[in-house]
C-alpha cells in the first residue's frame, strides 16, 4: 500500500533552528552564520572582529571545523568564549550541533554569537542554524564567477564580505560583474569590501554588527 507522507526532509533541522532562535532571541542575543569556501578568510575576519568589538559587545563564537581545533585556538587567544564543533568530516553545521554547542556558552552574558561554519559554499546554505543573518565571505582570488556558481548561498546571505580586496590590482576579478551577479541573485544584499589582514574597510562590517545588536536592545 502507498502512504502519503509529504514531509520536508530538512524539517528536523528546521524545527531545531526554531528552538535555537527562541532560546537566543529570548535572551536578546543576535546571531550571524558565516559561510565561505576554505581559505576565504573567515577566521581572520573573526579574529579582527573579536579584537575590535569584544570590549563593546559581549560576544561568543562557535567554530565549525572538520577535524582540528586550530580555528578555535586562534579565537581563544582573543579572550572570548568559544566552543568548537568538530563535524568529523561532515560538510556543514546543523541546528542540532549548534544547539548542543550553544548550551555550553554563558548565554546570559552575551549579546552576539558568531558562528563560523565549515568551509564550504554549498551545503551550509541549506541548513538554518537559528541565525539572524547569513554572512557569505568571498575572497578576490576565488574569482568573480562565484555568485552564479553558488547561487543558493548568495541569494540567502543578507551580507557579503568581499575579502582580500587588496588583491584586486593583481587579479582579473571583475568588480562590476561581481556586483551585477550578486544583485541579480539578491538585490537586498549588502556588500562590504574588506581586507581583514590589512584591516581595510572593516569599520562598515563592525558598524553592521553594532547596528544589529543595538536594534535588538531597543526591540526595533
Partner 1 sequence: MHETALVSGIMKIAFEQLENHRLNRLVAIKLKVGEFSGAFPDALRFAFEAMVAETEHSGARLEIEEIPGRGLCRFCQAEFSYTPGMECPSCGGLAPKLVQGEEMLLESIEAE
Instruction: Confirm or reject binding of residue 175 to partner 1 (CB under 8 A).
Output: no
User: Candidates 45-53, 69-77, 180-188, 210-218 — which segment interacts with partner 1 by CB under 8 A?
Assistant: 180-188
Instruction: Confirm or reject binding of residue 67 to partner 1 (CB under 8 A).
Output: no
* Helical pair 95-102 and 11-26, crossing angle rounded to 10 deg: 30
Instruction: Confirm or reject binding of residue 89 to partner 1 (CB under 8 A).
Output: no
Q: Is the dihedral of CA 186, 196, 204, 178 positive or negative?
A: negative
Do the Cβ atoms of 181 and 156 come closer than 8 Å? Answer: no
Instruction: Confirm or reject binding of residue 45 to partner 1 (CB under 8 A).
Output: no
Residues 6+ away with beta carbon under 8 Å from 111 = 28, 29, 30, 57, 58, 59, 213, 216, 217
Instruction: Confirm or reject binding of residue 55 to partner 1 (CB under 8 A).
Output: no
Looking at the Cβ atoms of 24 and 95, the one nearer to partner 1 is 95
Other beta carbons within 10 Å of 117:
32
Looking at the Cβ atoms of 48 and 146, the one nearer to partner 1 is 146
Q: In the set 7, 67, 176, 220, which binds partner 1 (CB under 8 A)? A: 7
Looking at the Cβ atoms of 145 and 200, the one nearer to partner 1 is 145
Instruction: Confirm or reject binding of residue 158 to partner 1 (CB under 8 A).
Output: no
Give which of 108, 57, 58 is closest to 211, Cα–Cα. Answer: 57
Q: In the set 181, 192, 208, 212, which binds partner 1 (CB under 8 A)? A: 181
Report the nearest approach of partner 1 to the CB of residue 16 (Å). Answer: 12
Q: In the set 16, 83, 125, 129, which binds partner 1 (CB under 8 A)? A: 125
Q: In the set 184, 197, 198, 211, which binds partner 1 (CB under 8 A)? A: 184
Using CB atoms within 10 Å of the CB of residue 70, give its burial: 0 to 12 exposed, 13 to 18 middle, 19+ buried: exposed
Do the Cβ atoms of 172 and 141 come closer than 8 Å? Answer: no
Helix (H) or strand (E) run with residue 204 in it: helix 202-217
Q: By CB under 8 A, what part of segment 129-148 binds partner 1?
A: 147-148
Give which of 189, 187, 137, 184 is closest to 165, Cα–Cα. Answer: 137
The Cα–Cα gap between 212 and 132 comes to 9
Instruction: Confirm or reject binding of residue 152 to partner 1 (CB under 8 A).
Output: yes
* Residue ranges binding partner 1 (CB under 8 A): 1-10, 12, 90-92, 94, 120, 122-123, 125-126, 147-148, 151-152, 155, 181, 183-187
Amino acid at each position: 500500500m502507498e502512504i502519503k507522507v509529504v514531509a520536508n526532509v530538512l524539517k528536523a533541522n528546521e524545527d531545531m533552528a526554531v528552538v535555537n532562535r527562541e532560546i537566543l532571541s529570548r535572551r536578546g542575543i543576535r546571531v550571524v552564520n558565516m559561510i565561505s569556501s576554505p581559505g576565504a578568510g573567515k577566521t581572520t575576519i573573526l579574529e579582527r572582529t573579536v579584537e575590535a568589538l569584544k570590549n563593546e559587545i559581549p560576544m561568543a563564537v562557535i567554530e565549525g571545523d572538520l577535524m582540528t581545533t586550530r580555528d578555535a585556538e586562534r579565537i581563544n587567544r582573543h579572550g572570548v568564549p568559544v566552543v568548537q564543533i568538530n563535524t568529523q568530516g561532515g560538510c556543514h553545521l546543523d541546528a542540532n550541533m549548534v544547539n548542543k554547542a550553544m548550551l555550553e556558552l554563558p548565554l546570559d552574558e552575551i549579546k552576539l554569537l558568531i558562528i563560523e561554519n565549515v568551509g564550504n559554499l554549498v551545503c551550509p546554505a541549506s541548513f538554518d542554524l537559528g541565525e539572524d543573518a547569513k554572512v557569505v565571505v568571498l575572497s578576490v582570488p576565488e574569482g568573480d564567477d562565484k555568485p552564479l556558481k553558488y547561487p543558493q548561498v548568495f541569494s540567502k546571505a543578507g551580507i557579503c564580505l568581499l575579502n582580500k580586496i587588496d588583491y584586486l590590482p593583481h587579479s582579473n576579478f571583475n568588480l562590476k560583474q561581481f556586483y551585477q551577479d550578486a544583485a541579480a541573485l539578491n538585490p537586498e544584499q549588502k556588500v562590504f569590501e574588506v581586507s581583514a589582514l590589512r584591516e581595510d574597510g572593516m569599520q562598515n562590517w563592525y558598524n553592521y554588527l553594532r547596528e544589529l545588536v543595538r536594534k535588538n536592545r531597543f526591540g526595533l
